[in-house]
Amino acid sequence: MMKSSKKYLSVLLIVILVLSVVSFAGGVKEQVQALIRPDLNIVLNGEKLTMTDVNGDTVHPLTYNGTTYLPARAISENLDL
């Protein structure tokens, strides 16, 4: 009986913790403005990369606050990763 109570209490505490984290994370949102940069060319081994998403549509790097972000899927596919 004691083990069952501890197990129930542990599960209850985990559920409460998860719900607390989810509700806290839900309130943390901030809208940002980034620039889509089709003018940036990514070159690998002397060849310009053609970057596409899973549907084959062309994707471009983004620039936000002076940092350029590359599409992870497109880069990893071009690197055969």
Where do the structural domains in the chain lie, given as residue ranges? 1-30, 31-81
pLDDT reported for residue 55: 93
pTM strictly above 0.85: no
pLDDT reported for residue 32: 86
Q: By three-state DSSP, how is residue 35 classified?
A: strand
> What are the angstrom distances between the C-alpha of 52 and each of 46, 71, 72?
19, 9, 10
| CA-wise closest residue to 68 among 29, 42, 30, 31 | 42
Q: Please provide the size of the chain in residues.
A: 81
Integer Cα distance of 67 and 62 in angstroms: 8
Q: Which residues of the chain have pLDDT under 50?
A: none
**Average pLDDT, rounded, for the chain:** 82
pLDDT reported for residue 3: 63
Integer Cα distance of 11 and 65 in angstroms: 43
Count other Cβ atoms within 10 Å, centred on residue 74: 20
